[in-house]
Amino acid sequence: MGISPEQLDFERIRGHVGHHVVAVTYGNPPVNATLECETCGMVLYSADPTTPAAQPATIWQFTLVQGGVVVQQVLAGEPLENEITNLAIVETAKALGIPLGELISDQHDAWSELLETVREHPDITVSLSLITVLQLEQKDATNGNAHRRQAGLRAAADRRRIRPRR
Ligand SMILES: [Zn+2]
């Protein structure tokens, strides 16, 4: 398995002076990277890539099911309540065959009325709700890459330091 960077101390490095030390990755895509001394056939340091953590996110979800088929599935960030409610009103009215001009102008009332009308149509189901999902954050993935790049640079620097003198 190799050892941690803290354990890659002076004595251990000095023990491989003049040896052939290489950096190797395993797997495609790589799931493990190591610094190895080929002369000793020994893994000096082993590291696994960091995977981005899934973050909980609260989002709006609008679903329109018609005849048992999901015909609309819209997700929107929490601040977009007005926008997704408008979208839900327009799409639900369309599914029910109600002209938009016949809707109440107040958004909240219009949606409530549409929900009541939908209940009379067993073939149509709509829902608009705040849900919590786990999301792989792009930001974290980037950090992870930066981390990996740094680790790679450190590994390269380590490799230079322990490169055999010729
Ligand atoms: Zn060695």
pLDDT digits (tens, 9 = 90+) for 45-67: 898 888 777 888 899 999 999 99
- What pLDDT, on a 0 to 100 scale, did the predictor assign at position 4? 66
116 CA from centroid of ligand 1 (Å): 76
120 CA from centroid of ligand 1 (Å): 78
- What pLDDT, on a 0 to 100 scale, did the predictor assign at position 166? 45
Q: What is the bridge-based pairing of β-strands 69-77 and 54-66?
A: antiparallel
pLDDT digits (tens, 9 = 90+) for 111-159: 999 999 999 999 999 999 999 988 876 554 444 454 555 555 555 555 5
Q: What is the pTM of this model?
A: 0.54
Do 52 and 141 contact (CB within 8 A), yes or no? yes
147 CA from centroid of ligand 1 (Å): 27
Residue 67 belongs to what H/E stretch? none
Q: Where are the domains of the chain?
A: 10-51+143-162, 56-134
14 CA from centroid of ligand 1 (Å): 9
Q: Determine the Cα–Cα distance for residues 43 and 151; give it in Å rounded to an integer.
A: 17
4 CA from centroid of ligand 1 (Å): 17
